[in-house]
Amino acid sequence: MTILVLTLLGPLLAALAMFTLRRMPEVLALTGAVFGFAGALGLFVAVSDGVVVSISLPFLPDFPIRLVASPLTATLSMVVATVAAMVLIYAAGYMRKDPERVRFFGTMLLFVTAMQALVLSGDWITLLAAWEMMGFASYLLIGFWYGRAGVASAAMRAFLYTRSADSGLYIGVFILIGMSGTSEIAVTLISTGTPTLVAGVLLLVAAMGKSAQVPLQDWLMRAMAGPTPVSALLHSATLVAAGAILLIRTAPMLPDGVLLVVGIVGGITAVITGLIALAERDLKRLLAASTGSQYGLMLVAIGAGAPIAALLHLIAHAAIKSSLFLGAGVFQHDRDGTGLETLAGAGRARPGIFAGFAIAALALAGIPPLAAFFSKDAIIAAALDSTAAPWLLPLALAGSVLTGAYMGRALNVLWDGDAGPVQVPVPLMTIGMGILVALATGLGLGFGALEHMLGAEIEKPGWIVPAMGLAVGLAGLILGWFVPPARLLGPLLTPAQNGFAVAGGMDGLILRPALAIAANCEAMEQRLLRAQVGTVRRIGLGTAQLAEHADAALFAFSLWVGQLSMRLGLASKFTDTNGIDAAIFGFVQRMIAAGAQARRLQSGFIHRELALTAIGIALIVAGLLAAPYYS
């Protein structure tokens, strides 16, 4: 239990200490990361012995917060803690000159805490809360350099896209809790029937938003406005991973129909974002699009009924993608930009970093014996075995070819060009990246043991699957290295460069209609106001005339209304054609002129109002006292 808490409190307390002390951000960040890592490691060791660690804290009546470390969640927690620690080491170098390091590292740690809470969540409320907290933290991180042009809108877009999709998670969670009467995830996973189907679809929508699946892919490329370590963390083990993690965890519950949709959405995304990546003219945006396509492949695996294959790819991708981003960040520092033209030859100037970047790129393309070779084979094997193989297999293979192609292109650009001057060493950045590259290289060897621990061993496929995987990967790499994207993509180049925005993309489909509705509401507001003021005025004037001609008894009866009608009656004398505004201002001016001083008028008024109120109440009381006689 203590280790479970440590995993979360390590980074959280470090963040709070940082915001309080406002000094030594790097030291505190690494301390927090180390404690978080120790906690995650402890959990991992504990659950590998078959122990389930859980904790429950009070939150809402009947709905406590639950954190659970099972083999699956502890593994994910381990991935998060490892990548986070390495990225933080790297960031200590990368952010060396930034004056706002406290804010940067503090927010990063909050982000890591939220992600740990998400992967370890044992109930839907914790998961939902962590899910949205991560959106908030990423908003702050993407918007870190908020003074720069375009940054605010990129941060806003990231939050809005994911929040729109999150409403799916909200409703899905409400359905699941309503059905089973508890918020415990493990219990809701055994539910079946139509509500489960609806909930499954809604969860898919939420996952598509977070994992940037078509058609919600656009925000991810723009999110590159943030510092590079943020991208590394966001894309590998945290924000984007949350969508796939949600589906991996809920896969046992999803009906076949939903699974098929998951697989097809993933397959289409793998291809579409693969094409976008190939057409990109900026290295970070290329890597971002690639993230979408890799998560698409994971969804294919889930859709094919092999969530474990998706998990393996998620782990491999976490190490690979963070390595790639960290490498890109080094080149970015050297060349002050990430445009592919700017970066031409940047790899030559730093052969060590380039080697690491290249290993990660080959790993992603699925070259043996690097990590993603194994996981990609598992995905292809699952797609082949699936009942939906005619759909899923071609999409998965096309996605793999494109993976090779855009990585080949990136390598070619970085290598092919003038090396430029020799660069200063970057020790911290090299350490952080180096360890992640090592993981990207060797992780695949541990997959067998992991499958055993999770109790879901994947059958080793025959020679045909690895051969297919290797063939498409190599083909892609060669194409990408030698053939320029304009020729490779042909007529698809322009739509790919525009990010395949359907019907004006999110702007056209959601933003503009929302603003149009808002404008209509505002117009309605004005009409409503005019109508109400007009009605009140007419009623008031009518009552005032009535009161003038009525006798004293009637006057007493309508004293309450009279208070108002006298005002409006007075006001009406000043109304010619000027309408209510002039009436009110005339009335007010008259009142001000009538009073000797504003202060006296004000205080005198209180008394009069109170007196009127008192008289009114007295009359009512009198009426009530008389009630027995007339009722």
Partner 1 sequence: MPLLTLATFLPILGGLALIVLPNRSARVAHGMSIAVTGVVFMLTLVIWSRGTIAGGFAQIEELAWIPAIGAAYRLGLDGLSLPLVLLTSLLFFLSAIYSARISDRAPSYVVLMLMLETAALGTFMALDGLLFYVFFEVSLVGMYFMIAGWGYEDRQRAALMFFIYTLLGSLPLLLAIIGLYLSSGTFDMRVWIDMPPLTGIAAMLALIAMLFTFAVKIPAFPVHTWLPAAHVQAPTAGSVILAGVMLKFGTYGLVRFALQMTPEAFAQAGQVILAVGVVSALYGAFAALAQSDLKKMIAYTSINHMGYVVMGVAVAALTVDLRIRTIALDGATLQMVSHGLVTGALFFLLGMLQDRAHSRDMSEFGGLLGRVPWLGWSFILMAFASLGLPGLAHFPAEFQVFLATLNTAPWAIIAILAIVVTAGLYLRAIAAVFLGSENEKWLEMRDLDRREKLVIVPLLILTVLVGVAPSWLINMIHTTMESLSF
In the range 512-571, which residues lie near partner 1 by CB under 8 A? 514-515, 517-522, 525, 528-529, 532-533, 536, 540, 560-561, 563-564, 567-568
Could you tell me which of 279, 425, 418 has the C-alpha nearest to residue 343? Answer: 418
**With contact defined as beta carbons under 8 Å apart, do 65 and 120 qualify?**
no
Q: Where are the alpha helices (DSSP H) in 455-511?
A: 464-482, 485-489, 493-497, 505-506
C-beta of 478: minimal distance to partner 1 in Å? 44
Q: Does 21 bind partner 1 (CB under 8 A)?
A: no
Q: Which of 20, 49, 50, 60 binds partner 1 (CB under 8 A)?
A: 60
Which is closer to partner 1, CB of 148 or CB of 281? 148
In the bound complex, what is the minimum distance in angstroms from residue 146's beta carbon to partner 1?
4
> Taking Cα atoms as reference points, which of 545, 544, 549, 550 lies closest to residue 563?
544
Whether 415 contacts 354, CB under 8 Å? yes
Helix (H) or strand (E) holding 222: helix 218-222
For residue 501, is it left (φ>0), alpha (ψ between -120 and 50) or beta? beta
> Does residue number 146 form part of the binding site for partner 1 (CB under 8 A)?
yes
Exposed, middle or buried, 451 (CB in 10 Å: 0-12/13-18/19+)? middle
The correct pick among 482, 555, 557, 585 for binding partner 1 (CB under 8 A) is 585
Please pick, from the candidates 130, 371, 378, 454, the single residue that binds partner 1 as defined by CB under 8 A. Answer: 130
Coil, helix or strand at residue 457: coil
CB nearer to partner 1: pick between 202 and 299: 202
Interface stretch with partner 1, choices 56-64, 72-80, 272-280, 486-494 (CB under 8 A)? 56-64
Residue 152 contacts partner 1 per CB under 8 A: yes
Distance CA 456, CA 307 (A): 10
Cα 140–chain centre separation = 11
**Given phi > 0 = left and psi -120 to 50 = alpha, else beta, which region is 499?**
left
Picking from 235, 297, 290, 303, the residue whose alpha carbon sits closest to that of residue 268 is: 297
Q: Which is nearer to partner 1, 110 or 309 (CB)?
A: 110
Q: Which of 20, 50, 97, 149 binds partner 1 (CB under 8 A)?
A: 149
DSSP classification of residue 65: E
- How does 288-301 read in b/e, with b if 16+ C-beta sit within 10 Å? bbbbbbbbbbbbbb
Report how far residue 200's alpha carbon sits from residue 176's, in angstroms, rounded to the nearest whole number.
9
How far apart are alpha carbons 45 and 377 in whole angstroms? 28
* Shorter beta-carbon distance to partner 1: residue 24 or 170: 170
Give me the least distance between CB of 93 and partner 1, in Å please.
25
449 or 518, CB closer to partner 1?
Answer: 518
Nearer to partner 1, 482 or 555 (CB): 555
Q: How far is the CB of 624 from partner 1 (least distance, A)?
A: 5
Q: How far is the CB of 571 from partner 1 (least distance, A)?
A: 9
* Single residue of 156, 186, 431, 550 touching partner 1 by CB under 8 A: 156
Q: How far apart are CA 479 and CA 114, in angstroms?
A: 40
Q: Is the four-CA dihedral 170, 173, 177, 182 of positive or negative sign?
A: negative
Name which of residues 398 to 437 contact partner 1 (CB under 8 A): none
- Residue 181 or 351: the one with the smaller Cβ distance to partner 1 is 181
Closer of 147 and 421 to partner 1 (Cβ): 147
Q: Which is nearer to partner 1, 478 or 519 (CB)?
A: 519
Task: Report the site for partner 1 in 106-125 (rule: CB under 8 A).
Answer: 125
CB-wise, 120 or 414, nearer to partner 1?
120
Length of the chain: 631
Element (H, E) at 138: helix 124-142
Q: Which stretch binds partner 1 (CB under 8 A): 126-134, 337-345, 407-415, 416-424?
A: 126-134
Where does this chain touch partner 1 (CB under 8 A) — which range of 138-146, 303-311, 388-396, 435-443?
138-146
CB of 99 to partner 1, least distance (A): 10
Ranges within 587-626 binding partner 1 (CB under 8 A): 587-588, 599, 602-603, 605-606, 609-610, 613, 617, 620-621, 624-625
Locate tokens 């998400």: which residue? Answer: 118
Nearest distance, CB of residue 519 and partner 1, angstroms: 6
Give the count of residues interacting with partner 1 (CB under 8 A): 75
